[in-house]
Amino acid sequence: MKKTLIRCGWVVSLDDAIGDVTGADILIGDDRILAIGNDLGEADEVIDASEMIAIPGMVDAHLHTWETGLKAIGCDWRESEYLRDIFEGMSVQFTPEDNYIATLAGSLSRLDVGVTTLLDYCHNIRSTEQAERSVDGLEDSGIRGVYVLGTGVLRPEEEKDTPLDMRTHPRDRVKQIRDRLSNDERLVTMALAIPGPHWAKEEAIRANIAMARDFGLRTSSHATKRKHQELMPDGYSILVREGVLGPEHNIVHGNYLPDDELRLIVEAGITVTSTVQTEVRGYGRPPALNRVINYGGLPSLGVDVEPKIPGDMFREMQLALAYVLNERVREDIVKPETPVENKPVFTRDALRWATIGGAEALGLGHRIGTLTPGKQADIVLLRANDLNLYPVRNPLFSAVEFAHAGNVDTVLVAGEVRKRGGVLAYGEDRVRSVRTRLMESSDRIMRDAGYTVSAAH
């Protein structure tokens, strides 16, 4: 067993039995944390993090990684431009190799900003080879990932025969990817994306859920529409009451879900992921975070769509916390027609949303999310002597409220160093090649789709 000892300035463990510790060491054996404390014995390698804060690796619980090469083209979008130009437009131009390079680049960018686990909601798939190459991108990056196999829009001549709202996953494709990712304890695992009641009709929804159960897969769906727009009216309530949907399901967004339906969802153990940066810009109702908390759920956070918003999970976490706290001081939100007593929210909770909440949403809470002996060694080290953090009086406040992606010095995934000294372990020459290939791919996709990046206002 290879042993690695990290000599930390501060440890924010999120494990109640350990707490926040100053001047503690973390001992790693192969891929797992063996102990946290002092005088932990000899090790094969020692990492000097005496001026760093150790936190659990962050979990980006919802990212469309295939969009990485289209980063920052639509920051001023406010209406339906994303669905029109990205999902219904450029997505059909992607080849398997385009998916590969975007997924590889996106996964590396997650590692670079302190994300050790990624839910890759891959919903531009038109062929099994495209799905396979997406998985290749995750695996080649070294990130911990849940590959969520989706369907996506087809070209117009194909769409008329198999409309999205009635489409089911090709069983042979699901089987092939599931056979490849059959070990649920490996670094990259699998789940199934289903167009839920807001986006699909009942027959297709039930067929996709049944297929997921046949293959032992968790599922995830977007809940993004107003009540009158649902394609399966009251679908979530119906499926929850029947026991068809439960803790193995994850809902993304949920802004427009009425209180009674969202409460039913949370009480059924279904996890809810908010993408706050996206939602405060593009949704008419607030993020569901506050309501999920009050109904007894643990939220999770995701970046969602990098064409519109930055992929910094520190920024996502900070905005989520600020928005929840702001809701609680606005009387029209705090005191709705059917008031619910607000549960307390503190800075530590925000880090829990970005770590433990994401781990639970991905079904990985037994493996990651806290710095706990026995769990896998997914660890992020933040440079505490960077001027935006120095001096550290409270490591939790510094890590959650003041840190940003630029403070990430070292990243370990399952005990393997993926970033050190501020540099990705993937290699400078290989990263340069990835950048070149990503630019070539995305330039061609936009050109073939007839899309021109607009000048900023």
**Same domain membership, residue 178 and residue 256:** yes
CATH of the domain at 36: 2.30.40.10
Q: Give 400's DSSP letter.
A: I
442, part of any domain: no
Question: Is pLDDT at 335 greater than 70 in this prediction?
Answer: no
CATH of the domain at 173: 3.20.20.140
**Same domain membership, residue 26 and residue 160:** no
For the segment 344-348, the average pLDDT, to the nearest whole number, is: 95
* Alpha-carbon separation of residue 439 from 68, 178, 396 (angstroms): 10, 31, 38
pLDDT for the residue 434: 98
pLDDT for the residue 185: 94
For the segment 405-417, the average pLDDT, to the nearest whole number, is: 98
Q: How many Cβ atoms are within 10 Å of 284's Cβ, its own excluded? A: 8
447, part of any domain: no
**Same domain membership, residue 128 and residue 72:** yes
Question: Is pLDDT at 158 greater than 90 in this prediction?
Answer: no
pLDDT band at 334 (very low <50, low <70, confident <90, very high): low
pLDDT for the residue 165: 83
**Same domain membership, residue 240 and residue 164:** yes
pLDDT for the residue 330: 77
pLDDT band at 162 (very low <50, low <70, confident <90, very high): confident
428, part of any domain: no
**Same domain membership, residue 313 and residue 280:** yes
Of 333, 361, 389, the last residue of a domain is 361
> Which pTM does this prediction carry?
0.96
**Dihedral angle of Cα 92, 95, 101, 104, to the nearest 10 degrees:** 70
Question: Is pLDDT at 47 greater than 80 in this prediction?
Answer: yes
pLDDT for the residue 152: 81
pLDDT for the residue 64: 98
pLDDT above 70 coverage of the chain, percent: 96
Question: Is pLDDT at 28 greater than 60 in this prediction?
Answer: yes
Q: Compute the distance between CA of residue 372 and CA of residue 418 in angstroms, rounded to an integer.
A: 20
pLDDT band at 454 (very low <50, low <70, confident <90, very high): confident
SS3 assignment, position 343? coil
What rounded mean pLDDT belongs to the chain? Answer: 95
**Same domain membership, residue 327 and residue 273:** yes
452, part of any domain: no
Structural domain for 8, as ranges: 3-56+379-413
Higher pLDDT, 456 or 233: 233
86, part of any domain: yes
* Alpha-carbon separation of residue 229 from 84, 264, 355 (angstroms): 18, 20, 33
Question: Is pLDDT at 80 greater than 90 in this prediction?
Answer: no
pLDDT band at 336 (very low <50, low <70, confident <90, very high): low
**Same domain membership, residue 144 and residue 47:** no
- For 252-311, the pLDDT digits (tens) are 999 999 999 999 999 999 999 999 999 999 888 999 999 999 999 999 999 999 999 999
pLDDT for the residue 160: 66
For the segment 166-185, the average pLDDT, to the nearest whole number, is: 96
Q: Give 375's DSSP letter.
A: S
For residues 151 and 139, the answer to whether their CB atoms sit within 8 Å is no
**Same domain membership, residue 402 and residue 266:** no
Min mean pLDDT across 107-121, 142-156, 234-248, 361-375 is at 142-156
Of 299, 329, 361, the last residue of a domain is 361
**Same domain membership, residue 316 and residue 233:** yes
**Same domain membership, residue 319 and residue 209:** yes
**Same domain membership, residue 132 and residue 44:** no
Q: Compute the distance between CA of residue 389 and CA of residue 375 in angstroms, rounded to an integer.
A: 28
Q: In residues, how long is the chain?
A: 457
pLDDT for the residue 343: 87
374, part of any domain: no
Question: Is pLDDT at 157 greater than 80 in this prediction?
Answer: no
423, part of any domain: no
Question: Is pLDDT at 124 greater than 70 in this prediction?
Answer: yes
Q: Compute the distance between CA of residue 259 and CA of residue 295 in angstroms, rounded to an integer.
A: 9
Structural domains of the chain, count:
2
**Same domain membership, residue 334 and residue 299:** yes
346, part of any domain: yes
